[in-house]
Chain A
Amino acid sequence: MAAIELTGLSTVYPNGVRAVDSLDLAIQDGEFFALLGPSGCGKTTLLRTIAGLEQASEGVVRLDEADVTRVAAGRRGVAMVFQDYALFPHMTVAQNIAYPLRVRRASKELQKAAAESKAAGLGLSALLARRPAQLSGGQQQRVALARAIAMDASVLLLDEPLSNLDARLRLEARTFLKRLQRELALTTVFVTHDQAEALALADRIAVMSDGKIVQLGTPKEVFQRPADTFVANFIGSTPMNLLPGAVSDGLVEVAGTRLVPPADLALTDGTPVVAGIRPEYLRPAAEGITGTVSIVENLGVTSLVTLECPGDTLVGLTVPEDEEPEIGTTLTATPEHGRLLLYHGETNQLLGEARVS
């Protein structure tokens, strides 16, 4: 159990790429923390730097106040599960789980006891004599977790923990992982490129782009109030509507609708802005954004309706399954209170909430 504190951390590769770029982050003790971002954003490098597999070029890594920046991997009390699980194919499940103890030259009895207790905790008792190749993907993942837990580390790192599982198993493993983390109350950091995974599992999420943290917050905060258009675009299973417009006479016109920007912002005329609204937060109403229904996509309980609005703008909204509109009809939708966000068109930063005039 430990808190992680990163100060001014940079990891620069020999070819000059700043994979992690002067990053500050504090992860609390016992927290389930997600590093989320598209591939190449530096999230895995950051995880590896915490583990000690990459050497930090600048900055400090602290675990419970202790500076571990120059401490070798394996001496930091940080366990890690790799994306491919990295189970040793020539060892049995029991030997794999007991490996952290074998490295420390623990007695055979101690190794056996550890393997048995960890395996029992993860429902692997029947598989102890098998080899990794004889296990399913989900079982392999649990063996890798058992091995990491057997290290008795204070921090657990997971690199893309669910990406090697097939879709159905992934949901099951997600629930399992969350329960396991709650039971162990172990500070856990995981890397993912799947926003749904991060939203479902994490206590807090750091959204990363180009080696920097773009937004840090709880899943709710990140989902409801993306700090910029990059996060807005990245988070959510249906893409957020990002409608470009410009300020004129203190109002913003997007998709044929006039919006009132936040009162405390004195936006000069001609300032480019982007209005952002999630399809889930748009409701059919008497007033608001009006367009012609062009596409209806069934998502199960809801349907995603695409409206063609004035100015060749497409706006998506979700409607309950039994309220699907006919294609070609006209539909008007209005944002739920406080869900319509306004971003600056050039800096892409969040300006505040807007409302329909």
Chain B
Amino acid sequence: MTQFMTFRQMLRRSVYVIFMAVVLAFFAVPMLWLASAPFDSDPGLGLRWPDWTLDNWRITFDHPYALGSLVNSIILCVVATAVTTVFGTLAAYALSRVRIPGRDALLYLLLLLSSVVTGTAAMVPIFVMMFQLGLINSQYATGLVIAGGMLPAAIFILKDFIDSVPRSYEESARVFGASPTQVLLHVVLPVARPGIATILVWAFVQAWGNFLLPFLLLRDVERQPAAVLLRTLKDEGGSANLTAIPVVALYLFVSKRYGFRFHGGIKA
């Protein structure tokens, strides 16, 4: 009887281990592929041991626009991220503190519209508008358009963070004579910092990976960011990794410096 039980236990354990191994492989293999493809002489979508080489990297750096596109990406992302974070925080603070009728409805509507009317749906009107404004091929204008798409979601999330900053903090600062600017800089922003850091990285990643808008609005190849230029590169893996490095670096930096929090709330 006991032997039978042990056998069943072993069986159960084996099935569990095999199941977990399969699940793990399912998620790990694409990552390993992503990491090894740049060093493979003949990268493909097949699953096999790579034929190690550094040729891909040489070819990528020989591409006349590859490094320039990374600089373009950074310009675009810095503009879009700065606009989203700064204006998103200010708007969220105002919406969190001022009572206006229909405030929540407004927020949900903005969020809904920005997630429904996006990308392909807004493609033509945005292009026409930017064309008539003479802003085609402007990196800063493209950054603004990207920021515009991200702002509603950023405001929505940031408002939640700022809602969780107790009002008594602000009132306390006011009683001690702080001006509205001082209240914002000394109290609200530092307390909401984890939320702002989260939005900063989120906005950067979103802008970095955005293909459609820069593709539409930046016709000049010298101004196109890495996400757009990628499609002109021959190899499947190398440059994709190259473009991912700044995002990973930013993520690690912010995570270490500020710590992420995906919810509001302060433990005082």
Contacts and interface: CB of A to CB of B under 8 A. Distances in A.
* Chain B interface mostly: helix
B178 interface: yes
A327 interface: no
B169 A90 contact: no
Contacts of B190: 88, 90
A102 B177 CA distance: 10
A86 B166 contact: yes
Interface stretch (A70-78, A174-182, A198-206): A70-78
Nearest to A157: B175
Interface string A86-101: 1111100000000110
Interface residues of B, number: 20
Q: Is the interface of A mostly helix, strand, loop or mixed?
A: loop
Interface in B183-224: 186-187, 190-191, 193
Nearest to B187: A88
Interface in A130-166: 132-133, 147, 151
Contacts of B168: 82-84, 86
Contact of A133 (B172, B186, B268): B268
Contact of B182 (A73, A86, A103): A103
Contact of A99 (B176, B193, B268): B176
A88 B175 contact: no
Contact of B191 (A74, A90, A102, A147): A90
A116 B172 CA distance: 21
A104 B21 CA distance: 63
B55 interface: no
Contacts of A100: 176-177
A38 to B, nearest CB: 22
B266 interface: yes
A103 B191 contact: no
A6 interface: no
- Of the listed residues B171, B177, B266, the one surrounded by the most CB atoms of chain A closer than 10 A to its CB is B177
> What band does the interface of chain A fall in when counting residues whose beta carbon is under 8 Å from B?
20 to 34
A53 interface: yes
Interface string B158-172: 000000001011011
Contacts of B182: 103
Nearest to B267: A133
Given A103-B182, A133-B267, A133-B268, A88 B169 contact: yes
B179 to A, nearest CB: 8
B173 interface: yes
B63 interface: no
B175 A103 contact: no
A89 B266 contact: yes
B174 A74 contact: yes
Contacts of A72: 174
**By CB atoms of chain A within 10 A, which of B172, B186, B267, B268 has the most?**
B172
Interface in A294-327: none
Contacts of B193: 90
B191 A80 contact: no
21 contacts: A52-B175, A53-B171, A53-B174, A73-B175, A74-B177, A74-B178, A78-B175, A80-B172, A84-B268, A86-B172, A88-B173, A88-B187, A88-B190, A90-B190, A90-B193, A99-B176, A100-B177, A102-B186, A103-B178, A104-B177, A133-B267
Given A88-B191, A103-B177, 18 more contacts: A72-B174, A74-B175, A74-B176, A74-B178, A75-B177, A82-B172, A85-B268, A86-B168, A88-B187, A88-B190, A89-B266, A89-B268, A90-B190, A90-B193, A100-B177, A103-B178, A103-B182, A132-B268
Interface of A: 51-53, 72-75, 78-80, 82-90, 99-100, 102-104, 132-133, 147, 151
